[in-house]
Structure 1
């Protein structure tokens, strides 16, 4: 008689009935209204929505940059609400790689040093972090730009440095916020090709965008409208209100 098989791997993101309210009473703003979202390991999901739809609030919650008013958020099987501020900070640094629209690179620092930053915060020794930073830059095709500062790089190259920095700690989740917003069409195509390659290699990616053409590169597209999320891949059950 065989014993039970291995436990199924938890999803990277498991959000249930999530709400976020800013303010109180008549001044309350309901930014998220009962959002459900599950992202399995290795999925590439695009979250689309217009300005003010709630997608930025959802991004902040998924990135452990903000706390929900109610509902549940599990990251890698951990209930984020059970963690202290310090534990959430460690979780952000080790499990989430961020890519922002504005690159957020330190201007007077080389590409290599920018990529090393998450490992410095994690206490990784100089030799190991330098090797890992070089490997991350090679992964994004910038092995010959390690000593260049941001002002010596094109916008597309700066964003690839930002992607290398996001990947250097081998996070469970790559969270990209409008990553093509400051790029021309050629650099946008190159960045999306890079994301395709990362996804093919098994990376879990959640990309926030207002651009339907960018979103179309993902496996799955979910839409945020007035704080509610529509996920065409999830059937609406009988008696369940539609988003």
Structure 2
């Protein structure tokens, strides 16, 4: 039975101390039936420990987007088991999955996914509002998150008043503000120029040094080179899984913790 708080919210921290943040066992995903069936994932087993920084690479059709959707609780496996921070998500209904996504996962997308007519500050506060956090606390944590990504001087700017790199940094702040167990980034630099890419990757480096768990889906070798571990998918299977030397980065300066997010 899933352990939940009084409001149906998954309890803070891992349900199994020492459990991996991600634990996928023999996960398959099949779209369609019979002769038209597409096997996107083929018995994939993957474990990601707390504090790891993983890049998942693969050509188009390799299964990396499907894997991201399953890790992010946006889709469910056809078979196999998925545990997030020690919690078996297989039996959760959509309401509880939504709560789990809000509390445990921070999403960063290629297209930023900011609300157009909301300021940077309001965009970052949004997940906290959904989570029922009071206004003063929302404001404090959103300001800290925007300061961490270097945007304290852009609080009142709407997305169309920001560069692409600044929009992505707002998206990173929004992902961080709930102090999630896992940061999940899908092609986070795909729409950025080289300077903005370097800025976002430097933030990821600092987050990794501070002990955050990151999984980045990317086809760019430059992005993957910042990770501690690179996994390559081919035809829905892991073809290569190896450790890399971490890229040097500035010391961490994060202003909030999971304890402060409760």
| Residue 121 (1) aligns with residue 149 (2) | no
The corresponding residue for 2:223 is 214
| Residue 40 (1) aligns with residue 49 (2) | yes
The corresponding residue for 2:92 is 83
Alignment of 1:122-141 (within 5 A): 122-141=131-150
- 137-146 vs 172-181, which moves further: 137-146
Deviations along 1:124-161, whole A, 9 cap, x unmatched? 11111111111110111111111111111111110000
| Residue 181 (1) aligns with residue 190 (2) | yes
Q: Which residues of structure 2 form unaligned runs of 5+?
A: 1-15, 244-262
CA RMSD of aligned residues (A): 1.2
Aligned-partner Cα distance in 2 for 1:31–1:155: 32
In the TM superposition, structure 1's runs of 4+ consecutive aligned residues that sit over 4 Å from their partners are none
Larger radius of gyration: 1
Aligned-partner Cα distance in 2 for 1:196–1:32: 29
Among candidates 69, 72, 78, match of residue 78 of structure 2: 69
Aligned-partner Cα distance in 2 for 1:194–1:8: 28
Among candidates 225, 228, 240, match of residue 237 of structure 2: 228
Aligned-partner Cα distance in 2 for 1:119–1:217: 29
By how many angstroms is 1:211 displaced?
Answer: 0.7
By how many angstroms is 1:8 displaced?
Answer: 5.2
Aligned-partner Cα distance in 1 for 2:53–2:240: 14
By how many angstroms is 1:229 displaced?
Answer: 1.3
CA separation of 1:199 and 1:28: change in aligned 2, threshold 3 A: same
Higher relative contact order (CA 8 A, sep 6+): 1
SS at match of 1:180: coil
Question: TM-score normalised to the size of structure 1?
Answer: 0.92
By how many angstroms is 1:85 displaced?
Answer: 1.6
| Residue 107 (1) aligns with residue 77 (2) | no
Q: Which residues of structure 1 form unaligned runs of 5+?
A: 1-6, 235-243
Aligned-partner Cα distance in 2 for 1:187–1:198: 17
The corresponding residue for 2:163 is 154
SS at match of 1:11: coil
The corresponding residue for 2:69 is 60
Aligned-partner Cα distance in 2 for 1:8–1:170: 18
Alignment of 1:153-172 (within 5 A): 153-172=162-181
Deviations along 1:175-195, whole A, 9 cap, x unmatched? 000000000011101110110
Q: How many correspondences in the alignment?
A: 228
The corresponding residue for 1:95 is 104
